C-alpha cells in the first residue's frame, strides 16, 4: 500500500515538475535562452506517464535524462560544486527515490543499471568538485609576527584605530602560532530595548584604561577592559520618531591638549534626533561647557524636513582639535531634502568653526543669516571620515545627490561632489581637492567606505596615498596631498539608454589598481536550489534589461550589479603597513529595479498621500518612483550563483592580488531564510569590516554564517573561528589591557537587518588562556 502511495505521489510530482519545466523552458527559448529545460521537462513528464502506466521504458528514459543532465551541467558549470547544485542535486535525489523497490518494480527488471550508472557518476563528479574544483589556498608560508613601535601603547583610540583608518594594530601577543587557543574572555550583553531590529554595529574605543561604545537608542557605556563590567552608562533619550534604524557605528575619544575645567578626556557622539554630545570619559556625565550644557543642536540650518530622515550614524572625526561630523539623509524621498552639510565644532567648547557643502565652498566659516539654510539636497556623507593632521586635511566620502535613481534636476556643484571623496582644509573648511568615483550616479552607489590613508611605493617613489574603496569594488588610489591618481584612472564608455528626461554620463572612471568587482553576469550564472527556481531566474535574466555595469534604470525591470550594498561598504578595507598588504571583504549581490511613472504613482495614492504600493524610493519631484529590491527567486535564494562574498589581500608593493578566496560558509544560508547547517565554504553575504595585527593575522566577523575568524594574512588560511550569537556586522578591534597587559580582540555581535539571522546586543571579547 505504501509503495502504491509513493508511486502515485511521484507520478504527480514528476508530471507537475515536468510540465512546469516544459512551459517555462519554451518561454526561455523564446527569450533566447537555453534549450535544456524544454528537453528535460518533456523527458520528465514522459517518465511520469511511463511510471503511471507501468511502461518498461520509463526508468531507462529517466536514466538517460539524468545522464544528459550531467553532461549539460558539466558543460555549463565545470567542476564548480555550488554551480552544479541546482542542476544536478534534485534530479539525482529523485533518481535515488525511483530505485526504491516498490517503484522500480513498475519498470523492466534489468533497467536499473540505466539509472545506477548516472547516479554513480553524480557522486564521482561532486567528489571531484569538492577537491579539484575548490579554490585552493595560495602556496605561501605562514606569516611570522613582527615587532612594531606603538604610539598608542596598545590602545584603540579611533574607529579605525588611527585617523588614517588603516585598522592595523602593532600588538602581536596573539599570533599564528597560538591563535588556535583563543577563548572567550567575557561577554557584555546590552540591556537596552532594541529599536526595531538591533542596530548594534559599533567598534568600541579603548583609551584611558576603559572601553567605550554606543548601544541601541544612543545609549553610551564605559566598560572594564578585563571583565566587560559596566562602569557607567548614559542614555541620550533620543526622539526616534520617523527613524528607520537607530544604528550607531561608534563614538570618538578626545583628550584635551590643555588643562580643562572639566572633561579633560571626553567622549563625543552623534544622536539620532540630531544632537552632537560630549561626556566626561571618567564619569559619563555631560560636559556642561560643551555647546548648550553638553549638546549641540544639529538641526540648525537644515530647514524643514520630516522627522527621522536626517541624522548622524558615524562617530565624528577628531582632527586638529575639531569634531567633524556629517550624517545620513534618507535619499530617494524628494528633490528637496536637507543638506548633507559637513560641520566642524571645537572639541572642547562646541563652537562652530565651519560648515561645508558644495554651495558654501567659497567661505565655509560664514555664519548663516536668519532664516537661511545650508544648500538643500547637497550630497550627504554618512560614512566614517579620515584625517591627516600634518597636511591639515579631513577626507569625506560622499553620497548620491537626492533622489538616488533620477538626477536630471541636479546642479553642477552637486554633480561634481557626489559619489566621491572630498578633502577639506581643517582650518578653513574649504575644499582642497575632490575626486569622483561615479559621474552622475543614478544607481545609489554612494561612497560609504572610510578613506584609508597609508604610504605606498609606486614607480620607485614613496607616496602618501589615500585608498578609496567603493561599492563598485573599484579601489581608487590617490595622492592624498592633491587627489591625483597614483594608479592611472581611465574613462570607459557605458550604456546610455536612460528613461525619458534623464541623461547618463558618456563614460565612467576605472582604476588600473586591482579590483574586487564581480564579472559581468550571464544566463549560466543564474542559480537556485532546484532546476525549477534556477529556470525562473534564467528567464527573468533574459527578460530584464542588462548591459553589464552601469545599466541605467528603466521602465522595464533592470539588473543593477554590483547592487547598492556593494562591493565594498562602510566596513572599508584594512591595511597592514608593515607587510604592505591590503585586506578587502566584498559582497556580490545584484539588485533589480523598475522605474514607475509619476502618473501611475499618483493614481495609487490615498487621501493621506500614502500609496497602495510600497516603493523603495518615492522620488517626489521627479517623473519616476522606483521599485528596487535584491534579485532573489521565489524561495528567497539569490538568483546568481555563489560566491556572494570574498576575502582578498592585495600586495601594495607590487599592485597585484596576493590571494582571493570565497569568504564564509553555507551554515546559515538556505531557502526561505532557513539554515542549511552545511559548514561548507561558499562565500556568504557579508557586511562589516576587518582588522590586521603585527601578529600576522586578520580578524573578521561580517559573514552571514555568524563566525568570527582569525586568518593568516599571508596565505588566507583560517586558523581559528568561533560562532557568535548573531552576525558580527561590525569592524572588530583589539587592545592591550592597561591593567593586566593582556591582549583582547573584541567584536559587536548584533546581527544586521540586511542579512538573515537573529538580532543581538552582545559585545564579545576573546583572549589567550592564562599562561599563554
Q: Known catalytic residues? A: 444
Separation between Cα atoms, residue 282 and residue 264, nearest integer Å: 9
Separation between Cα atoms, residue 58 and residue 67, nearest integer Å: 14
Cell of 121: 557518476
b/e sequence 286-304, b meaning 16+ C-beta within 10 Å: bbeebbeebbbebeebbee
Cβ neighbors of 535 (< 8 A, separation 6 or more) are: 21, 24, 25, 28, 37, 528
Separation between Cα atoms, residue 523 and residue 538, nearest integer Å: 6
Please calculate the CA angle 464-454-651 and round it to the nearest 5 degrees. Answer: 110
Cell of 237: 533619550
Cell of 223: 566598560
**CA dihedral over 301, 302, 307, 308, signed as positive or negative:** negative
Separation between Cα atoms, residue 418 and residue 487, nearest integer Å: 22
Indicate the SS3 state at residue 770.
coil
Helix 36-52 and helix 58-77, axial crossing angle in degrees, nearest 10: 160
Separation between Cα atoms, residue 319 and residue 427, nearest integer Å: 10
DSSP label of 292: B
Helix 2-30 and helix 36-52, axial crossing angle in degrees, nearest 10: 160
Cell of 164: 588614517
ω before 349 within 30° of 0 (cis)? no
Length of the chain measured in residues: 772
If residue 64 lies in a helix (H) or strand (E), which one and from where to where?
A: helix 58-77
**CA dihedral over 151, 155, 157, 162, signed as positive or negative:** positive
Separation between Cα atoms, residue 700 and residue 698, nearest integer Å: 6
Cell of 507: 563614460
Amino acid at each position: 500500500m505504501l509503495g502504491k502511495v509513493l508511486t502515485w505521489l511521484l507520478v504527480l510530482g514528476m508530471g507537475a515538475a515536468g510540465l512546469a519545466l516544459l512551459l517555462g523552458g519554451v518561454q526561455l527559448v523564446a527569450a533566447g535562452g537555453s534549450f535544456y529545460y524544454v528537453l528535460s521537462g518533456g523527458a520528465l513528464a514522459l517518465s511520469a506517464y511511463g511510471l503511471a502506466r507501468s511502461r518498461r521504458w520509463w526508468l531507462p528514459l529517466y536514466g538517460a535524462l539524468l545522464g544528459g543532465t550531467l553532461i549539460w551541467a558539466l558543460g555549463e558549470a565545470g567542476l564548480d560544486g555550488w554551480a552544479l547544485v541546482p542542476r544536478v542535486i534534485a534530479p539525482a535525489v529523485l533518481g535515488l527515490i525511483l530505485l526504491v523497490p516498490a517503484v522500480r518494480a513498475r519498470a523492466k527488471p534489468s533497467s536499473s543499471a540505466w539509472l545506477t550508472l548516472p547516479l554513480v557518476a553524480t557522486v564521482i563528479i561532486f567528489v571531484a568538485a569538492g577537491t579539484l574544483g575548490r579554490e585552493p589556498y595560495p602556496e605561501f608560508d605562514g606569516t611570522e609576527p613582527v615587532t612594531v613601535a606603538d604610539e598608542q601603547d596598545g590602545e584603540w583610540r579611533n574607529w579605525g584605530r588611527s585617523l588614517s583608518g588603516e585598522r592595523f594594530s602593532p600588538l602581536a601577543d596573539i599570533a599564528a602560532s597560538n591563535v588556535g587557543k583563543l577563548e572567550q574572555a567575557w561577554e557584555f550583553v546590552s540591556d537596552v530595548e532594541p529599536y526595531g531590529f538591533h542596530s548594534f554595529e559599533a567598534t568600541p574605543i579603548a583609551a584611558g584604561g576603559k572601553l567605550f561604545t554606543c548601544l541601541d537608542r544612543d545609549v553610551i557605556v564605559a566598560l572594564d577592559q578585563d571583565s566587560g563590567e559596566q562602569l557607567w552608562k548614559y542614555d541620550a533619550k533620543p526622539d526616534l520618531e520617523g527613524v528607520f534604524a537607530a544604528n550607531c557605528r561608534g563614538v570618538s575619544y578626545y583628550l584635551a591638549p590643555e588643562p580643562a575645567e572639566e572633561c579633560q578626556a571626553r567622549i563625543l557622539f552623534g544622536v539620532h534626533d540630531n544632537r552632537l554630545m560630549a561626556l566626561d570619559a571618567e564619569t559619563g556625565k555631560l560636559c556642561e561647557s560643551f555647546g548648550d550644557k553638553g549638546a549641540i543642536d544639529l538641526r540648525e540650518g537644515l530647514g524643514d524636513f520630516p522627522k527621522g530622515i536626517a541624522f548622524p550614524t558615524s562617530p565624528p572625526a577628531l582632527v586638529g582639535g575639531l569634531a567633524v561630523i556629517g550624517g545620513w539623509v534618507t535619499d530617494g524621498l524628494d528633490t528637496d531634502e536637507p543638506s548633507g552639510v559637513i560641520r566642524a565644532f571645537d572639541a572642547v567648547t562646541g563652537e562652530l568653526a565651519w560648515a561645508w557643502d558644495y554651495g558654501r565652498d567659497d567661505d565655509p566659516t560664514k555664519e548663516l543669516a536668519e532664516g537661511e539654510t545650508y544648500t538643500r539636497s547637497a550630497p550627504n556623507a554618512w560614512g566614517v571620515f579620515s584625517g591627516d593632521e600634518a597636511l591639515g586635511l579631513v577626507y569625506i566620502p560622499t553620497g548620491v545627490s537626492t533622489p538616488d535613481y533620477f538626477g536630471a534636476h541636479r546642479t553642477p556643484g552637486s554633480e561634481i561632489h557626489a559619489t566621491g571623496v572630498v578633502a577639506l582644509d581643517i582650518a578653513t573648511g574649504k575644499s582642497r581637492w575632490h575626486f569622483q568615483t561615479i559621474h552622475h550616479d543614478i544607481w545609489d552607489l554612494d561612497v560609504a567606505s572610510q578613506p584609508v590613508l597609508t604610504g605606498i611605493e609606486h614607480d620607485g617613489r614613496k607616496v602618501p596615498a589615500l585608498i578609496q574603496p567603493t561599492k563598485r569594488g573599484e579601489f581608487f588610489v590617490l595622492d592624498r596631498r592633491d587627489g591625483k591618481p597614483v594608479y592611472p584612472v581611465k574613462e570607459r564608455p557605458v550604456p546610455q539608454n536612460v528613461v525619458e528626461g534623464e541623461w547618463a554620463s558618456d563614460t565612467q572612471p576605472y582604476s588600473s589598481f586591482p579590483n574586487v568587482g564581480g564579472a559581468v553576469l550571464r544566463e549560466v550564472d543564474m542559480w537556485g536550489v532546484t532546476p525549477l527556481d534556477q529556470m525562473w531566474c534564467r528567464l527573468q535574466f533574459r527578460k530584464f534589461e542588462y548591459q553589464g555595469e552601469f545599466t541605467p534604470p528603466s521602465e522595464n525591470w533592470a539588473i543593477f550589479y554590483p547592487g547598492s550594498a556593494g562591493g565594498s561598504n562602510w566596513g572599508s578595507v584594512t591595511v597592514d603597513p608593515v607587510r604592505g598588504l591590503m585586506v578587502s571583504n566584498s559582497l556580490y549581490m545584484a539588485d533589480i529595479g523598475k522605474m514607475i511613472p509619476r502618473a501611475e504613482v499618483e493614481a495609487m495614492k490615498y487621501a493621506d498621500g500614502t500609496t497602495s504600493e510600497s516603493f523603495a524610493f518615492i522620488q517626489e519631484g521627479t517623473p519616476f518612483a522606483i521599485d528596487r529590491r535584491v534579485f532573489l527567486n521565489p524561495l528567497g535564494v539569490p538568483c546568481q550563483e555563489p560566491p556572494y562574498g570574498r576575502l582578498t589581500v592585495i600586495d601594495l608593493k607590487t599592485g597585484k592580488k596576493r590571494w582571493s578566496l570565497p569568504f564564509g560558509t553555507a551554515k546559515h544560508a538556505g531557502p526561505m531564510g532557513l539554515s542549511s547547517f552545511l559548514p561548507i565554504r561558499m562565500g556568504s553575504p557579508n557586511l562589516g569590516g576587518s582588522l590586521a595585527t603585527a601578529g600576522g593575522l586578520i580578524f573578521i566577523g561580517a559573514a552571514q554564517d555568524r563566525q568570527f575568524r582569525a586568518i593568516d594574512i599571508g596565505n588566507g588560511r583560517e586558523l581559528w573561528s568561533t560562532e557568535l550569537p548573531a552576525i558580527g556586522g561590525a569592524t572588530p578591534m583589539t587592545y592591550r589591557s592597561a591593567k593586566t597587559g593582556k591582549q583582547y580582540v573584541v567584536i559587536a555581535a548584533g546581527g544586521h537587518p540586511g542579512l538573515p539571522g537573529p538580532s543581538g546586543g552582545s559585545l564579545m571579547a576573546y583572549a589567550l588562556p592564562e599562561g599563554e
